[in-house]
Protein backbone atom coordinates (compact mmCIF):
# COMPACT_ATOMS: atom_id res chain seq x y z
CA UNK A 1 0.00 0.00 0.00
CA UNK A 2 1.29 3.46 -0.79
CA UNK A 3 -0.39 6.79 -0.19
CA UNK A 4 0.46 9.61 -2.58
CA UNK A 5 2.17 12.48 -0.83
CA UNK A 6 -0.70 14.87 -1.58
CA UNK A 7 -3.14 12.54 0.22
CA UNK A 8 -1.04 11.88 3.33
CA UNK A 9 -2.30 12.90 6.76
CA UNK A 10 -5.88 13.01 5.49
CA UNK A 11 -6.95 9.53 6.55
CA UNK A 12 -6.59 7.89 3.13
CA UNK A 13 -4.21 5.18 4.37
CA UNK A 14 -6.42 4.39 7.37
CA UNK A 15 -9.52 4.27 5.17
CA UNK A 16 -7.84 1.94 2.70
CA UNK A 17 -6.52 -0.33 5.46
CA UNK A 18 -9.92 -0.47 7.19
CA UNK A 19 -11.59 -1.23 3.86
CA UNK A 20 -9.18 -4.07 3.02
CA UNK A 21 -9.44 -5.60 6.49
CA UNK A 22 -13.24 -5.36 6.23
CA UNK A 23 -13.17 -7.21 2.91
CA UNK A 24 -10.98 -9.92 4.44
CA UNK A 25 -13.44 -10.29 7.34
CA UNK A 26 -16.45 -10.43 5.00
CA UNK A 27 -14.75 -13.18 3.01
CA UNK A 28 -14.20 -15.26 6.13
CA UNK A 29 -10.45 -14.76 6.46
CA UNK A 30 -9.08 -15.38 9.93
CA UNK A 31 -5.88 -13.38 9.49
CA UNK A 32 -4.36 -10.62 7.37
CA UNK A 33 -0.57 -10.53 7.04
CA UNK A 34 1.66 -8.00 5.32
CA UNK A 35 5.28 -7.16 4.63
CA UNK A 36 6.72 -3.66 4.86
CA UNK A 37 10.11 -2.00 5.09
CA UNK A 38 12.31 -1.39 8.09
CA UNK A 39 13.83 1.93 7.00
CA UNK A 40 12.73 5.25 8.48
CA UNK A 41 10.57 6.06 5.45
CA UNK A 42 8.33 3.11 6.39
CA UNK A 43 7.87 4.19 10.04
CA UNK A 44 4.49 5.88 9.37
CA UNK A 45 3.21 2.72 7.67
CA UNK A 46 4.39 0.51 10.53
CA UNK A 47 2.74 2.87 13.03
CA UNK A 48 -0.52 2.79 11.04
CA UNK A 49 -0.52 -1.01 10.95
CA UNK A 50 0.31 -1.26 14.66
CA UNK A 51 -2.48 1.18 15.54
CA UNK A 52 -4.89 -1.09 13.63
CA UNK A 53 -3.82 -4.07 15.76
CA UNK A 54 -1.18 -5.63 13.50
CA UNK A 55 1.71 -7.25 15.36
CA UNK A 56 5.18 -8.15 14.16
CA UNK A 57 5.43 -11.79 13.11
CA UNK A 58 7.83 -14.24 11.51
CA UNK A 59 8.22 -14.09 7.74
CA UNK A 60 5.45 -15.95 5.93
CA UNK A 61 4.83 -17.45 2.48
CA UNK A 62 7.82 -16.74 0.24
CA UNK A 63 9.34 -14.11 2.54
CA UNK A 64 12.56 -14.91 4.37
CA UNK A 65 14.42 -13.06 7.09
CA UNK A 66 15.77 -9.72 5.85
CA UNK A 67 17.13 -6.63 7.59
CA UNK A 68 15.08 -4.53 5.13
CA UNK A 69 11.76 -6.23 5.75
CA UNK A 70 9.31 -6.71 8.60
CA UNK A 71 6.21 -8.89 8.52
CA UNK A 72 3.09 -8.05 10.50
CA UNK A 73 -0.16 -9.90 11.06
CA UNK A 74 -3.66 -9.22 12.37
CA UNK A 75 -5.84 -11.98 13.77
CA UNK A 76 -9.32 -11.00 12.62
CA UNK A 77 -11.07 -12.44 15.66
CA UNK A 78 -9.44 -9.70 17.75
CA UNK A 79 -10.64 -6.15 18.14
CA UNK A 80 -8.44 -3.09 17.68
CA UNK A 81 -6.67 -1.78 20.74
- In this prediction, residue 79 carries a pLDDT of 52
Q: What are the structural domains of the chain?
A: 10-75 (3.40.630.30)
Comparing 29 with 79, which gets the higher pLDDT?
29
Q: For residue 73, what is the enclosing H or E element? A: strand 69-75
Look at residue 9 and tell me whether its pLDDT is greater than 90. no
For residue range 19-70, list pLDDT tens digits in order.
999 999 999 999 999 999 999 999 999 999 999 999 999 999 999 999 999 9
Look at residue 81 and tell me whether its pLDDT is greater than 70. no
- In this prediction, residue 40 carries a pLDDT of 96
**Phi, psi (rounded to 5 degrees) for 34:** -145, 165
Of 7, 77, 75, 9, the residue nearest 47 (C-alpha): 9
Amino acid sequence: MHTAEAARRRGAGRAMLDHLVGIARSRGCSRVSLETGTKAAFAPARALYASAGFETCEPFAEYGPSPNSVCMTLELGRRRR
